[in-house]
Amino acid sequence: MATEPLAKEVAGTCVDAYGSAIGMPQLCFDWFPNQIFWLVITLVVIFLVLSRVALPRIAAILAERQGTITNDLAAAEDLKAKAVEAEEAYNKALADARSEAQRIAAEARAEIQSGLDDAIAKADLEIAAKAAESEKAIADIRAGALESIQVVAKDTAAELVTALGGEADAKAIDSAIDAQTKG
Amino acid sequence: MATETTAAEGSSLVFHPMDQFIVKPLFGDGAIAWYTPTNVTLWLFLAIAAIFALLVLSTSKRAIVPTRMQSVAELAYGFIYKMLEDICGKEGVKYFPYVMTLFMFIVCANFLGMLPMSFTTTSHFAVTIPLALAVFLTVTVLGFVKNGASFLGLFWVSSAPLALRPVLAIIELISYFVRPVSHSIRLAGNVMAGHAVIKVFAGFAAIAVISPVSVLAITAMYGLEVLVSFIQAYVFTILTCVYLKDALHPSH
């Protein structure tokens, strides 16, 4: 750095002999062309870098991110709809299975009922047959009993007549007994 | 600044707060012609490198889930894009690269200027005036191209009483032409003042008794300057958007 006074022509009008500023360096018009020239170059370079590379790239990144978010949201919505659909299908399958089970149970019940009815009818028939047989047997016995009564009554009547010292008239006794028992 | 102390004759208290703004050739000590590579060139190119690293290198992976640097790039993009869209509407969006160039350049140059021993390009009117003039010319040309003569309606406040309108037109006209001046001086002035104040405090650090206060003050100023660096870039950009809106929709 300047420890001894500079030559006047090197220092110019803006810097004193010791390298310090005279007044405001901002107002040193000697330096304006230089600063403006480099400023213009800088601004043009920045503008080109921004408009050609940086800004389209950042815009693309932001758009891509927005797109990704939108897509993900749509996918989530889709999956949610699918889940609801699956639940509905499950519920429907459940209802179907329930009605099928009910149908099968009703069928089984009907089958059992018809089997039962058949068996009851068969049993009824058998019972009726047995009852008829029994009735016939009873009638036979009853008829047998009547005959026996007549025989016993005739014998008894004859014996009584004899015992009372009478003469047993077989014919009269028979007709009397028959008349009594018929009535 | 070793130069300052050697240049000082006798006194230990030396203030050269403006020396940090001197433009020097990068190679040799010759005179500065318009094409000479200077410290301005170096720090402008470092700004380009910073922008390239921030917006291009960090996004090179195009990650759906961004890395930290990529999120900063995306934040910067979204910040300026939204600002432009909110102020100028849909038709302003096509000027986005232009506005983004201004914002990224100013914010990177300001923050690079916060590095110790750096050269702050945006503290120079030679840098901010062309920026502001570029905005002014763009807006004016765009206004006439888009709206023809009805762009002059910007100066004719139709909601004011008829008698007041000529007066208002003059005021509007003046304020319109003052725009580039305030636009550029606001930026350079803020940045320059902050840096100069830090240098002044640094000068006080040479006195042992005051130096703790001085160091604290530098720290506080530095924090403030970091804020100012961003806020001035933001203000410059938002004003550019507002001026662009005038060109696109000149009616009040």
193-252 in B: which are within 8 Å (CB) of A?
A: none
Contact B127 A19 (CB under 8 A): no
Positive or negative, the Cα torsion across A59, A62, A66, A67? positive
Residue A82 Cα, gap to closest chain B Cα (Å): 28
The CA-based angle B226-B234-B72, given to 5 degrees, is 75
Q: For residue A71, is it within any domain?
A: yes
CB-count exposure of residue A148 (10 Å: 0-12, 13-18, 19+): exposed
Q: For residue A61, is it within any domain?
A: yes
Contact A21 B104 (CB under 8 A): no
Rounded to two decimals, the pTM is 0.74
Q: What is the pLDDT of residue B30?
A: 76
Q: For residue A60, is it within any domain?
A: yes
Q: For residue A63, is it within any domain?
A: yes
Contact A50 B101 (CB under 8 A): yes
Residue B14 Cα, gap to closest chain A Cα (Å): 11
* Residue B9 in this model has a pLDDT that exceeds 70: no
Q: For residue A18, is it within any domain?
A: yes
- What is the rounded distance in angstroms from the CA atom of residue B203 to the CA atom of residue B206? 6
Phi and psi at residue B116, in whole multiples of 5°? Answer: -60, 145
B43 in Cβ contact with B124 (< 8 Å): no
pLDDT band at A6 (very low <50, low <70, confident <90, very high): low
Q: For chain A, say whether B165 makes contact (Cβ under 8 Å).
A: no
Q: What is the pLDDT of residue B2?
A: 42
Phi and psi at residue B25, in whole multiples of 5°? Answer: -70, 145
Q: For residue A2, is it within any domain?
A: no
pLDDT band at A91 (very low <50, low <70, confident <90, very high): very high
Residue B75 Cα, gap to closest chain A Cα (Å): 10
Give pLDDT tens digits for B58-116. Answer: 999 888 889 999 999 999 999 999 999 999 999 899 999 999 999 999 999 999 999 99
- The ipTM of this complex is 0.88
Domain range for A117 = 8-182
Q: How many domains does chain A have?
A: 1
Residue B125 host element (H or E): helix B125-147
Give pLDDT tens digits for B30-74. Answer: 788 888 899 999 999 999 999 999 999 999 988 888 999 999 999
Task: Determine which of B15, B42, B56 to mutate to test the interface with A (most A C-beta atoms within 10 Å).
Answer: B56
A68 vs B44, B64, B104: nearest CB: B64
Q: For chain A, say whether B51 makes contact (Cβ under 8 Å).
A: yes
Q: What is the pLDDT of residue B10?
A: 43
Name B38's bridge partners.
B25
Q: For residue A74, is it within any domain?
A: yes
Q: For residue A3, is it within any domain?
A: no
Q: What is the pLDDT of residue B8?
A: 42
Q: What is the mean pLDDT of residues A153-177?
A: 82
DSSP B115: S
Q: What does the domain layout of chain B look like in residue ranges?
A: 22-248
Cα dihedral A37, A43, A49, A52, rounded to 10, equals: -110
Question: What count of other Cβ atoms lies within 10 Å of the Cβ of residue B63?
Answer: 14
B86 in Cβ contact with B148 (< 8 Å): no
